[in-house]
């Protein structure tokens, strides 16, 4: 069993316990009192050629890299992101493999006023209601049960970031009409990262969709490479949570410093 299979199996067991503790009807009732979601998709649309939007991630650990920042305070980190120029914030909520928690999302929602993405292994509609009740504006979806969950999320009031790794997955996301498509630069078998998936797949994403490059991005030069391939936004976790100067790193990766703009290749 690979790491991803192990995570999914554990998540299904976890969901059984969660549903027993908090029925879906209770989550649906909690969602009725929430204000409308913040506009995640609009926040990620780059303002012009050579510009980019940053999704800054609150991430304590990962299966591939272990603990990234044991002292990380999710709320303090999110506030730094928001005040330094991040367009949106991603919050890891998986506890076993990423040392996150749904309570982290709740706390960050109370502290910042930018759109929030819940980064989780979303397998069932129950988790969509759970996400909305906790204050998420968007959720990450991958190829597992994509169609049903994508439509359900829209009905619940959540935007989606549909993640792809291959050409067939990208084609399915495009056929679905997913507004925001993210290319994951991490190989799910080896867990290694390379910008090559983004460089190969981003030019295939029509301009009607918002294209995002995810993972393996650490420097301004990395951002420039994926922007030149067609990215309008980048999602960065490790490079930010390990940064000595978080505001400066946000400005660097959002191309808000003085290095000059990158040139984006036109997309169909």
Which one of 11, 60, 119, 249 is the catalytic residue? 119
User: Quick one: which of 188, 159, 168, 194 has its CA closest to 8?
Assistant: 188
Which one of 57, 120, 124, 238 is the catalytic residue? 57
- Catalytic: 59? yes
End-to-end C-alpha distance for the chain, whole angstroms: 39
Whole-number Å distance between alpha carbons of 81 and 74:
10
Which one of 124, 130, 169, 214 is the catalytic residue? 214
- Catalytic: 120? no
- Catalytic: 163? yes
How many C-beta neighbours within 10 Å does residue 191 have? 14
In the chain, where does DSSP find H-type helix?
Answer: 3-21, 24-32, 40-43, 74-84, 102-111, 125-134, 146-156, 167-176, 196-201, 220-229, 238-241, 246-253
Which one of 11, 59, 60, 249 is the catalytic residue? 59
Which one of 62, 84, 184, 185 is the catalytic residue? 184
Residue tagged 């982290």 (tokens): 104
**What does the block give as tokens for 202?**
């981003």
- Catalytic: 185? no
Which one of 84, 185, 198, 215 is the catalytic residue? 215
- Catalytic: 96? no
- Catalytic: 6? no
- Catalytic: 125? no
Whole-number Å distance between alpha carbons of 97 and 92:
10
Which one of 130, 163, 169, 252 is the catalytic residue? 163
User: Quick one: which of 100, 155, 111, 98 has its CA closest to 132?
Assistant: 155
Catalytic sites, residue numbers: 57, 59, 119, 163, 184, 214-215
């Amino acid at each position: 069993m690979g790491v991803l299979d192990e995570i999914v199996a554990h998540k299904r067991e976890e969901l059984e316990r969660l549903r027993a503790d908090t029925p879906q009807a209770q989550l649906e009732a909690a969602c009725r009192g929430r204000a409308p979601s913040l506009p995640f998709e609009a926040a990620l649309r780059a303002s012009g050629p050579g510009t980019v939007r940053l999704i800054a991630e609150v991430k304590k650990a990962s299966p591939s890299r272990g603990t990234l920042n044991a002292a990380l305070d999710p709320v303090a980190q999110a506030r730094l992101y928001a005040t330094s120029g991040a367009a949106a914030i991603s919050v890891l909520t998986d506890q076993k493999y990423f040392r996150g928690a749904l309570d982290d999302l709740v706390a960050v929602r109370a502290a910042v006023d930018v759109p929030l993405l819940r980064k989780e292994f979303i397998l069932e509609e129950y988790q969509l209601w759970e996400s909305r009740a906790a204050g998420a504006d968007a959720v990450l979806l991958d190829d597992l049960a994509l169609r049903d969950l994508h439509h359900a999320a829209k009905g619940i009031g959540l935007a989606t970031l549909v993640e792809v790794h291959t050409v067939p997955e990208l084609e399915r996301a495009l056929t679905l009409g997913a507004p925001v498509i993210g290319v994951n630069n991490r190989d799910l078998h080896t867990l290694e990262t390379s910008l090559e998936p983004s460089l190969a797949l981003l030019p295939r994403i029509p301009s009607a969709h918002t294209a995002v490059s995810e993972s393996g991005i650490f420097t301004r030069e990395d951002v420039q490479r994926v922007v030149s391939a067609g990215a309008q936004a980048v999602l960065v976790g490790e490079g930010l949570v390990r940064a000595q100067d978080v505001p400066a790193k946000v400005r660097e990766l959002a191309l808000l410093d003085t290095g000059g703009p990158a040139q984006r290749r036109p997309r169909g």
